[in-house]
Amino acid sequence: MSVTLKSPPSSFLSSSLPKSRLGFANGSSSSTLLFKFNRSFPVLRASSGSSSSVDTGLSTELDAVSTFSEIVPDTVIFDDFEKFPPTAATVSSSLLLGILSLPDTIFRNAVDMALADSTCSPLDNPELRLSCFVNKALVNVGGDLAKLVPGRVSTEVDARLAYDTHGIIRRVHDLLRLYDEIAVPPERLLFKIPSTWQGIEASRLLESEGIQTHLTFVYSFAQAAAAAQAGASVIQIFVGRVRDWARSHSGDPEIEAAIQRGEDPGLALVTKAYNYIHKYGHKSKLMAAAVRNKQDIFSLLGVDYIIAPLKVLQSLKESITSPDEKYSYDRRLSPQSAARYDFTAEELTKWDQLSLASAMGPASVELLAAGLDGYVNQAKRVEELLDKIWPPPNV
């Protein structure tokens, strides 16, 4: 049996707005912006099994892999956007640090306007004042990005709230109110939350209000399954970080089981999470982050979104495919293969705080803690820089 696919995969942060190409500069490397290509899409042929191969007529490997999964460049270096035009963006402490390091960036005015905000400046408590400035800066920059990209803007929630469900919810509500003040509608927004149990609970409650969430720092199947049960719009797994941990550590049952099966533990985690989401009808979309090479991408074809380094994307873009190519591109992940995947009774549990804590092995515990530490440090650095330049001229 054969089927044809005449359109690309749905965008991670899609909207009905038209595409735009950008060419502006900034200097940060740990946030991401999404892109899609202006191109014609090839016909896909699917056998009665779970894999599909791309028909002839593609121009590059990047065209081929983009047919199966939405590709996300791991960059906020805006000069790269002419090569990889973005459709959506993430605004974060990392991005604010980049803006603050480049006074001539087009977003610097958004930060200066935040520092001049009349609701923040009168606050006597320095910590509350700085928090107010940061929220306003995030939203001002997010509002500017929303004018420049056709898709949605994902806004980072302060990692210092990672273990405070109600604190996360209050912060998201505050950010939504600020976005409303500058006329950015909720459907253009996602909120990026760490995958602690408290973060997952916050995601569940926010999604029940119609607020879309993006759960990050997922390093175990238990986290991924709990996030899917919570209804998170996007779940992000870091393939390379799991692999790196496995190379220098031992003692994590989930990782050791994958290795005993002859599988890469990072790729195995993405595959298992994808199969769980699709087999049991969860609405979540899965994003594979921290991929390190083209083979990682080929092994994940079919996952909803892949974050890839620019050097890998450039290699894919420069690799030309032809009718006599020596290999085809097979869809590794699909709803059909997910339907055949078997889960244990323990894996199908209704996850709660205790069962999640018990199921998370040392890899996910350590990697989650390291990710949170990094985000917290970035947030503190932003506050330190804002404190040094406040009040700005004419305030």
Residuewise pLDDT in 10s, the chain (395 residues): 333 333 344 445 554 333 333 333 333 334 444 433 333 323 322 233 344 444 445 578 988 888 899 887 776 555 556 677 666 678 999 999 989 988 778 889 999 999 999 999 899 999 999 999 999 999 999 999 999 888 888 999 999 999 999 999 999 999 999 999 999 999 999 999 999 999 999 999 999 999 999 999 999 999 999 999 999 999 999 999 999 999 999 999 999 999 999 999 999 999 999 999 999 999 999 999 999 999 999 999 999 989 888 899 889 989 887 645 534 678 999 999 999 999 999 999 999 999 999 999 999 999 999 999 999 999 999 999 999 988 766 55
Q: Which residues contact 7 (CB under 8 A, 6 or more apart)?
A: 41
Q: Residue 217 has what DSSP assignment?
A: E
Measured in residues, the chain has a length of 395
Residue 164's pLDDT is 98
Range 337-361 burial, b when 16+ CB lie within 10 A, else e: bbeeeeeeeeeeeebeeeebeebbb
Q: What is the helix (H) or strand (E) element at residue 153, kind and residue range?
A: strand 153-156
Active site residues: 192
Report the predicted TM-score, pTM, of the whole model to 2 decimal places.
0.84
Residues whose CB falls within 8 Å of the CB of residue 94, separated by 6 or more in sequence, listed in order: 28, 29, 30, 31, 76, 378
Distances (CA, A) of 98 to 52, 75, 86, 95, 153: 41, 12, 18, 5, 17
Q: Where are the domains of the chain?
A: 61-389
- Choosing among 3.20.20.70, 3.40.47.10, 3.40.50.410, 3.40.50.2000, the CATH entry for 61-389 is 3.20.20.70
Beta bridge partners of residue 193, listed in sequence order = 215
CB 213 within 8 A of CB 203: yes
Sign of the C-alpha dihedral, residues 123, 124, 125, 129? positive
